[in-house]
């Protein structure tokens, strides 16, 4: 009904799906969407289907009134904050898509069912909102690749816009999960971005495997438990054996109970 009215008025619709606990990283997506569209839909929904551990789902921060306050200066915004029964009505059909090789790597290997859950919710959201453009952060690099596959697979024809990762001044990538870190853990978590910058600055200077091991020890020495640190091809996400023109270093590590991910595009200057 709402969507039909917008279509009749030929409004250009932008869409930013989120799980809330909004920060400047989310805001950068919303602000870009506001610049490029007549109307922007921001969804706020902590999607149970994409959590492979119930404790993580329970602990995920929920800050709806602060989220609304953060967005309050923006106009032409529609906030969609459904509950689970609205998001997944029993009569709404969904046929899962094959995730392909990209879905099996990195996050796919360590969080069984995660991308299936992401695809399910984004499929429903795209079908409901029918945006012209949808905005996703490169912070979730592999997710962005999966969303592009989803868009092609279901034939949505949406313009998928990848947006740069927003970092705190000290380098830590902004994340809703940072809210769960103690001051000491937050300090230790800085080792992740330090390791990524280390890789970025050392492309081609030493063999890839040596640089990778040094990056791993930067994080481990800060007391984090690494789930993976891989240097991968930006398109296939397959591990690189040697330096190439462009690669992405992707990390997942536990800082106490909190699982953080980050990545950085590392391009050769040669």
* Interface with ligand AMP (CB under 6 A): 18-19, 25-26, 28-29, 136-137, 139-140, 163, 165-166, 173-176
CB-based contacts of 242, cutoff 8 Å, min separation 6: 207, 208
d(CA 255, CA 118): 24
Choice between 145 and 163, CB closer to ligand AMP: 163
CB of 62: closest distance to ligand AMP in angstroms?
A: 11
CB of 56: closest distance to ligand AMP in angstroms?
A: 12
CB of 204: closest distance to ligand AMP in angstroms?
A: 27
Answer yes or no: 26 catalytic. yes
From 23, 26, 114, 123, the catalytic residue: 26
CB-based contacts of 213, cutoff 8 Å, min separation 6: none
Phi-psi region of 20 (alpha: psi -120 to 50; beta: other; left: phi over 0): left
Choice between 136 and 243, CB closer to ligand AMP: 136
Say whether 180 sits in a helix, a strand or coil. helix
Q: Choose among 222, 240, 221: nearest CA to 230.
A: 240
Give CA separation, 47 vs 57, 121, 199, in Å: 8, 7, 33
Show the DSSP H helices in the chain as ranges.
Answer: 2-8, 24-36, 54-59, 64-71, 84-87, 106-110, 114-129, 141-153, 183-201, 208-221
CB of 173: closest distance to ligand AMP in angstroms?
A: 5
Active site residues: 26
């Amino acid at each position: 009904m709402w969507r039909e009215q917008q279509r009749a008025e030929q409004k250009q619709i932008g869409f930013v799906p989120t799980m809330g606990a909004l920060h400047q990283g989310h805001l950068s997506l919303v602000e870009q969407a506001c610049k490029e569209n007549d109307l922007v839909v921001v969804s706020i929904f902590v999607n149970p289907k994409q959590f492979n551990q119930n404790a993580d789902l329970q602990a995920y921060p929920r800050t709806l009134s602060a989220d609304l306050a953060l967005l309050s200066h923006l106009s032409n915004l529609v906030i969609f904050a459904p509950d689970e029964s609205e998001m997944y009505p029993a009569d709404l059909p969904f046929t899962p898509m094959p995730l392909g090789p990209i879905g099996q790597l990195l996050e796919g290997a360590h969080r069984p069912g995660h991308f299936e859950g992401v695809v399910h919710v984004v499929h429903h959201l795209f079908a409901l909102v029918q945006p012209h453009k949808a905005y996703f952060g490169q912070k979730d690099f592999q997710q962005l690749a999966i969303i592009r596959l989803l868009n092609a697979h279901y034939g949505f024809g949406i313009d998928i816009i990848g947006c740069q990762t927003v970092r705190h001044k000290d380098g830590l990538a902004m994340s809703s999960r940072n809210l769960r870190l103690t001051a000491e853990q937050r300090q230790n978590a800085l080792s992740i971005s330090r390791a990524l910058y280390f890789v970025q600055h050392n492309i081609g200077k030493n063999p890839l495997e040596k640089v990778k091991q040094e990056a791993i020890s930067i994080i481990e020495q800060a007391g984090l438990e690494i789930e993976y640190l891989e240097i991968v091809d930006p398109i296939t996400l397959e591990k690189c054996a040697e330096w190439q023109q462009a690669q992405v270093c992707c990390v997942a590590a536990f800082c106490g109970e909190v699982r953080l991910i980050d990545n950085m595009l590392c391009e050769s200057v040669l």
